[in-house]
Amino acid sequence: MARAGSGARARQRARELLVKALYQWQLAGHDVDELTEQFSEAPEYARSDQLYFRDLLSLVLEEAPALDREIARYATRGLDQLDAVGHAILLLALAELRYRRDVPPKVVINEAVELAKRYGATDSFRFVNAVLDKAASARPEQT
């Protein structure tokens, strides 16, 4: 099944799973296949936008060095000072801003801020918001 869930809620579930998968990737170094297999067994995966999960997971892992350079460009602190959850959220959101033109920047930022409020350190949502606002402002307009 390529896409079990559809709509905004299915994408939210996919983003939540992506943050968890990216967190695990940072700590354990698992590859795309290992992470996909593991997270596909989670109950919420069945109700998520599975295609979105797989596409973005592959994209983030492939583009992580470029996304990290983008974080460094817009962040007020070094990458070494980011906690793994905040880093995961920023990687995901920057990948969406950069490569998913079908998702409005306001949606990307709002979803990332909500994830940071739910899973991040206290007040990390403010940092996430600031970095993504700068990145979105620098994003070339769609033609």
Helices 84-99, 50-74: crossing angle, 10 deg rounding: 100
Residue 16 is encoded by which pair of tokens?
A: 């939540």
Alpha helices in the chain (DSSP H): 8-28, 32-40, 50-74, 84-99, 105-119, 124-138
Nearest CA-CA partner of 124 in 96, 84, 66: 84
Domains detected in the chain: 8-138 (1.10.940.10)
Tokens of 25: 């990737």
pLDDT for the residue 143: 37
Q: Integer distance in angstroms from the first to the last C-alpha of the chain? A: 33
Vertex 70, ends 140 and 110: CA angle to 5°? 70
Q: How far apart, in whole angstroms, are the C-alpha atoms of residue 112 and residue 89?
A: 6
- pLDDT tens digits for range 111-142: 999 999 999 988 899 999 999 999 999 876 64
Per-residue pLDDT tens for 53-84?
999 999 999 999 999 999 999 998 888 888 99
